[in-house]
Amino acid sequence: MPAMTSEQDVAVIGGGPAGLMAAEVLVAAGHVVDLFDGMPSVGRKFLLAGKGGLNLTHSEPFEAFVARYAERAPVLQPLLRAFGADALRAWAEALGVETFVGSSGRVFPKDLKAAPLLRAWLHRLRGQGVRFHMRHRWLGFDGTGALRFATPGGEATAQPAATVLALGGASWPQLGSDGAWAPLLAARGVDLAPLQPSNCGFDADWSEHFASRHAGKPLKGVAITFEGWHQAGECVVTAGGVEGSLVYAASALLRDRIAASGEAVFQLDLLPQRSLAWVAAELAHPRGPRSLSTHLKTRLKLEGVKAGLLWELVPKDVQADPARFAVAIKSLSVRVTAPRPVAEAISTAGGVRFEVLDDGLMLRALPGVFCAGEMLDWEAPTGGYLLTACFASGHAAGQGAAAWLARRRSAGGAAA
């Protein structure tokens, strides 16, 4: 363990984007920075996020961008103004990673990969003097306020002048973000919102017949409506429910309704590009000796998993009535009963409430301790918003810690 006795020494705990960004800001401000992480290497969830093409941020206008953070938009707005999508793209390009805007407005590295960006970043951080300590799992504070770590050589402590916690949420715990920090902070009087799954799938009571035939099948070209919210996209039927980008976009609303009522029922439009009148007219077209299944396939192009959902969820008497069946096709009620566990979710809702932090993201209950990233109480949809807020909050926490240390030095000098 490093000897951390100088007023310049800062510990950053957590090697994801938020922690690495905080370290970069602090070392640039002249501080000696030691970064600790419980895993053998940093950035593991970041690398996983880039497995299918790293969606770094989004190009939509700022006001629309900020609105994606729902009730936390007001508190995140200044952080995103200071280090938002444009700043993030410029930062990546300074690392030699060119970005581009995809057809959906999402922003990606030109090679779509996370690993080259992470390697370049770590090379720069090491060159700037950041010291990395892997397999150092944070255990909380001892009686003197020192940081406790479980290390390969046994328990060790460190007593920096300031600490930035960037420990992630509780999703994908095998990559290091297991939420074990929550009781450690709660024991020190930090008010936390319960950790919950976000951008997650949901359980539905499919029959064995339906699940065995359609699990894993994508639902393309559909739309979900739920309590005034509407969006088109794609999702996937699973053996026990639904998941995928369109479901993730609705996940906060569905999760909260289930918490309040025990279930949520959303409407699935299987043909959002067609009007109800058109669907009803096609269904009413004489089908002669053809089966209803063949009629759906030939007139409406509904087959496979979409047709399977209709047989699963629409009663026989409704199927026999073209007008009512058309309504079901355009507004199929899908009942979900529980979100999937937080460990399976893409991200986490809940965490350290912003109300217990000052403007520099310092815990009022623990002066000198700052928080950043997904361990803060906010959530956002996929599409680059998650990563952008992690970078932005890490940047803000680094600035907050540097400013706090500068004020302490000034006060100490004035007292002398």
The mean of the pLDDT values for the chain is 95
For residue 412, is pLDDT > 90?
Answer: no
pLDDT of amino acid 2: 67
Kind of pairing, strands 9-13 and 32-37? Answer: parallel
pLDDT tens for each residue of 336-360: 999 999 999 999 999 999 999 999 9
Sorted by where each begins, the domain ranges of the chain are: 9-197+348-415, 202-339
SS3 string of 95-142?
CCCCEEECCCCEEEECCCCCHHHHHHHHHHHHHHCCEEEECCEEEEEC
271-300 residue pLDDT tens: 999 999 999 999 999 988 899 999 999 999
Mean pLDDT of 226-244: 96
Task: Tell which CATH architecture fits domain 9-197+348-415.
Answer: 3-Layer(bba) Sandwich (3.50)
First-last CA distance in the chain:
31
Whether residue 415 is predicted with pLDDT greater than 70 in this model: the reply is no
pLDDT bucket at 416, cuts 50 / 70 / 90: very low
**Is 122's pLDDT higher than 70?**
yes
Contacts of 49 (CB under 8 A, 6+ apart): 55, 114, 387
**pLDDT attached to residue 76:** 98
Distance from CA of residue 382 to its chain's centroid?
6
